[in-house]
Amino acid sequence: MAGVLSQTFLELLAARKRTIAEDWLARTLRTYPEHTSGFLSREKDPFRNPVGNSLKEAFPALVDQLIMGPDASTVCCLLDPVVRIRAVQDFSAGQAVAFIFLLKQAVREALKDDICTRPDREGLAAIEARIDEMALVAFDLFMRCRERIHEIKAGEAKRKLAMLERMQGNGGEAR
| Span 19-63, pLDDT tens digits | 999 999 999 999 988 888 888 888 888 888 988 899 999 999 999
Q: Is residue 158 part of a domain?
A: no
- Summarised one tens digit per residue, pLDDT across range 123-137 is 888 999 999 999 999
Are 66 and 13 within 8 A, CB to CB? yes
User: Residue 32's domain is classified under what CATH number?
Assistant: 1.10.490
Q: Is residue 163 part of a domain?
A: no
Q: Is residue 30 part of a domain?
A: yes
| Domain, as residue range, for 50 | 7-143
- How many structural domains comprise the chain? 1
Q: Is residue 124 part of a domain?
A: yes
Q: Is residue 112 part of a domain?
A: yes
- Summarised one tens digit per residue, pLDDT across range 64-91 is 999 998 889 999 999 999 999 988 888 8
Q: Is residue 173 part of a domain?
A: no
How much is the pTM? 0.80
Q: Is residue 175 part of a domain?
A: no
